[in-house]
Amino acid sequence: MKMKISARRARRQKGAAMVESALVMITLVGMIVFVMDIGRMLMTEMFITERARTAVRGAVVNNWDSTAVANYLVYNSTTSPDNVNGVAPTGYMGLQTSQVTFTALGTSGSADYRYQVKVSGLQMFTWIPWIAGKYTAPPVTVTMPAQSLGATN
């Protein structure tokens, strides 16, 4: 009789171990997906920030207007490519030139004169369980002193 009870107990413990392992694995995989997804979203934000820095630096050095800055940030060229069927093509990471704002701050020729580029409305998506979907990233704003003060390139 004792043998039957211990065999039954061993079977139950095996089943309990499988359930515990499944719960731990689900939690572990969920945490890994969360970390990777947040990392991907932060990397996207860093890519856009770096593009904005490059665009505002080009505006400072070359005295670009707002159209040239937006085109450079989105298409990596100061001119936009041709429209396809009347629709402007998407640029870097799905950006449109309408999402880029270029502003001159301060008084031209003074020490506080600077350029600002702002990218807003960037759509991001996530695979994180229970919060999966599309989200709008916070605006990326980059400001740089206008060091050239009248250079023409």
The tens digit of pLDDT for each residue in 43-76 reads 999 999 999 999 999 998 888 899 999 999 999 9
Distances (CA, A) of 85 to 44, 74, 140: 29, 19, 30
pLDDT at 139: 94
Q: Is 4 inside any structural domain?
A: no
Q: Is 17 inside any structural domain?
A: no
Q: How many residues does the chain have?
A: 153
Q: Is 50 inside any structural domain?
A: yes
**Domains in the chain, number:** 1
Place of tokens 């920030």: 49
Q: Is 26 inside any structural domain?
A: no
pLDDT at 151: 56
Structural domain boundaries enclosing 96:
39-145
Low-confidence residues of the chain, pLDDT below 70? Answer: 1-5, 10-12, 84, 147-153
Q: Is 1 inside any structural domain?
A: no
pLDDT at 26: 92
Q: Is 90 inside any structural domain?
A: yes
Q: Is 23 inside any structural domain?
A: no
Backbone angles phi, psi at 88, to 5 degrees: -65, 135
Predicted TM-score (pTM) above 0.85? no
Q: What is the DSSP letter of 87?
A: B
pLDDT at 127: 81
Q: Is 88 inside any structural domain?
A: yes
Q: How far apart are CA 126 and CA 117, in angstroms?
A: 26
pLDDT at 129: 73
Instruction: Please count the other Cβ atoms lying within 10 Å of the Cβ belonging to residue 145.
Output: 14
